[in-house]
A and B are shown apart, each in its own frame.
Chain A
């Protein structure tokens, strides 16, 4: 047993924190819920990146997905806001304190139904945050209604047959000029972790549409949001590896086999080619990919599109680097002389 204690002691990251320091409260979601797996990957990503929890804020809307911020990073501030309205709250918080890293967790109802407007405008403004959609194609907390991403003509126990086409969240993010758009599958934890790490290094809105099966209401084999469908139809675009700033690229790849994407903080994402060539910096290729994935009923996962050239909201607003929340009273209130000067213009 002595060895176990020793191992525990050794297991700290560069911030001197153990994995347990990134955990949250016990999950109250169903056993086997994809969201729990994603919470674990958020914990892994933050731990492996050695981010201090106080540098992170957790934000969410309403729904099963939006409950999950309570289940990771207990040592971070968090805000469980309104249904579909987390993006605006995130925008204000990150303008007030741009040194914070934000992880937003939303669902397909929260984002693609009630929250579509705020989602599009968050992406359009390029507010720097990780925006995860735990996409299960169904309303869980309210017991099994269709969401905006439910499959066309799918049958659900209580809701009946869905006559409408699903919203493709990655496509929406693309048309809103998003700069980091990825799709993943809760059943592929390694890919989820690497994408979250990369998203945390991106200076803009990083949209992660993660298919996250609802084991209670939408996990039948024919559903595109089920575990079995995901496993059978997942077609990764590439093998994703996140390389932190400090580290050399260790793994040797053969020439032409990989693409390296440089991120804002000096880290990079190495994309190892699988069967076909895919260039995630090509916007029209991304649109085509989403179209063909839909037509061919495959779950194309990985980094669908990246563009690191767009200004973040704070840079577009030409804000100081220092958090506005740290301004002193003297910095907040202009001088008495300046008031007299302003009033001169009204005499």
Chain B
């Protein structure tokens, strides 16, 4: 390849602007997978409305030879397919950018700092003449063909991408490739390359996978042995249950029968009730939802906390409440979930930051829940859960399943006594028995408050005090059972940055941006309760920023409660407009504007 200083290789953010429901998802996936197959690191973010058809939607593909996959502030390439947003999208293009547009759309007043490529989509699709019901889908392949030609995307890679998309079925691949090839040839003959953006095959995606966090989490749950999953449809969590329902049938059958059940409940209140019933009865049990569902689950989660029932609740956070911004991302459930339930509840929370961690925490959450006999929340968010990320392939669980302290009839016979809520081992975790255990000592009666250590009804103050003391001990035990934070940096920097969840990729990119300007140490929290490393990190840094995507600085406040003597040096950095964070915003928030 010739080294042309004006060329920009494998580094751009492309926005495809379409109307919701116009069948562009397959085209966007074809582009993103083709780039991925060419060895170029990519990410895909779907910015979509709460709507079935008609409202604007934008799909952003970022290619980055440096492997950056977070949202980027700038857009270099626009694919304009939707008239209502054309003018605004066009105005937002970076100088030197490129505008591909469907040529039946009236072009806004031309800018002289960008390059225009018209796309005769309607003419091209006429030539292919697909069946009527597929026309929109095939038409969208027109931009795939033209962009591929103009950027240098290998059509064989596009074909492979489509084959993956259609699960190896040739027929739809042939039809779509006809349109793509036609469009590419048209571009070759009729368009002259005037922009600097190019893609070239690389080797940076070898062995990697492209996946959404919801799918990764669902697979994690499956490899964690989930046997019962209940759910109620809600954006952005529905695709989690979809993935469970897609993969369980091929992975968990015995003589044609299911060794699991996935139940769509009548609401989230019922969904969590079912999960708790199943957890009590001894199944690995979970429910997946988003903030509004969590609100409905509050009473039952509190009961499960006090009755000490293991369940996993996967919360794909979105902006809340009600309608308006249900399709926008947020980290707004942290404080609510931590204390969900009335009375003194302190829920365990796992915070995956990557797709690979969605998988890992998917299985690990069951081990933690069954070990601690308590509801375990996993807080993902819309950006991590529904968008497409590049990842190393997942590691198969490297630890045996931990089913926790469950006594069998044989063990009861040997021990000769059983008290459901007695702290035998001093870690606050009592032993339990499952319904169906035939030993006469096994039965116990579950309820919320008001039980002694034999689970018998008791209103004696000292019984309840003792129980609450034990739950406090259990909460302390949890600190070392949950995933430890991940730290980066020399550990000697003046500035420490604490963050969590889906901001991971943006923070990594920001670190690189900041490398020449300022040294920072970072700590990514991966679970609540915090372990001692979190406290040490705060102690060891002069200034500690706490970065998150909510307005109140919820994690910041939780940390202030944890280390009150250090509260004053914790600085809250919050961003909450529905969009994922960018590296530039983080860098500027930590050390001030660039270029000063």
Contacts and interface: CB of A to CB of B under 8 A. Distances in A.
Given A69-B445, A92-B274, A336 B396 contact: yes
A228 B396 CA distance: 68
B209 interface: yes
Contacts of B440: 75
Contacts of B447: 79-80
A95 B261 contact: yes
Given A77-B445, A317-B261, A325-B434, A95 B266 contact: no
Contacts of A338: 251
B225 A89 contact: no
B553 interface: no
* Residue of B265, B280, B435, B443 with most partner-chain A CB within 10 A: B435
Given A70-B445, A329-B225, A82 B267 contact: no
Given A92-B277, A117-B267, A346-B210, A54 B443 contact: yes
Given A319-B261, A325-B283, A333-B225, A92 B273 contact: yes
Interface centre among A89, A317, A329, A336, by most B CB within 10 Å?
A89
A89 B401 contact: no
A25 B457 CA distance: 10
A94 B274 CA distance: 9
Nearest to B262: A317
B372 interface: no
A74 to B, nearest CB: 7
A149 B435 CA distance: 33
Contact of B266 (A78, A79, A117): A117
A338 B252 CA distance: 11
A199 B271 CA distance: 26
A324 B270 contact: no
Interface string B287-313: 000000000000110010001000000
A283 interface: no
Contacts of B436: 54-55, 77, 97, 99-100, 323, 325
Interface in A39-89: 52-55, 57-58, 69-70, 74-82, 85, 87-89
B281 A320 contact: no
Contacts of A58: 445
Interface string B273-285: 1111111111111
B411 interface: no
A93 B274 CA distance: 7
B278 A95 contact: yes
B269 interface: yes
A54 B397 CA distance: 35
Contacts of B269: 85, 88, 118
B225 A79 contact: no
A201 B310 CA distance: 31
Interface in B290-343: 299-300, 303, 307
A251 interface: no
A75 B443 contact: yes
Interface in A177-216: none
A157 interface: no
B400 interface: yes
Contacts of A256: none
B175 interface: no
A317 B445 CA distance: 29
Nearest to B160: A347
A328 to B, nearest CB: 9
B516 interface: no
Contacts of B270: 85, 87-88, 91, 117-118, 121
B400 A100 contact: no
A173 B499 CA distance: 51
The 5 tightest CB contacts between A and B, nearest first, are A92-B277, A88-B273, A332-B225, A325-B282, A96-B283
23 contacts: A25-B456, A77-B443, A78-B443, A79-B280, A82-B300, A82-B303, A89-B276, A91-B263, A91-B270, A92-B273, A94-B281, A95-B274, A96-B280, A96-B285, A99-B436, A117-B267, A317-B263, A323-B281, A324-B278, A324-B282, A342-B219, A345-B164, A347-B208
Interface of A: 25, 52-55, 57-58, 69-70, 74-82, 85, 87-97, 99-100, 117-118, 121, 125, 313-314, 317-321, 323-327, 329, 331-334, 336, 338-340, 342-343, 345-347
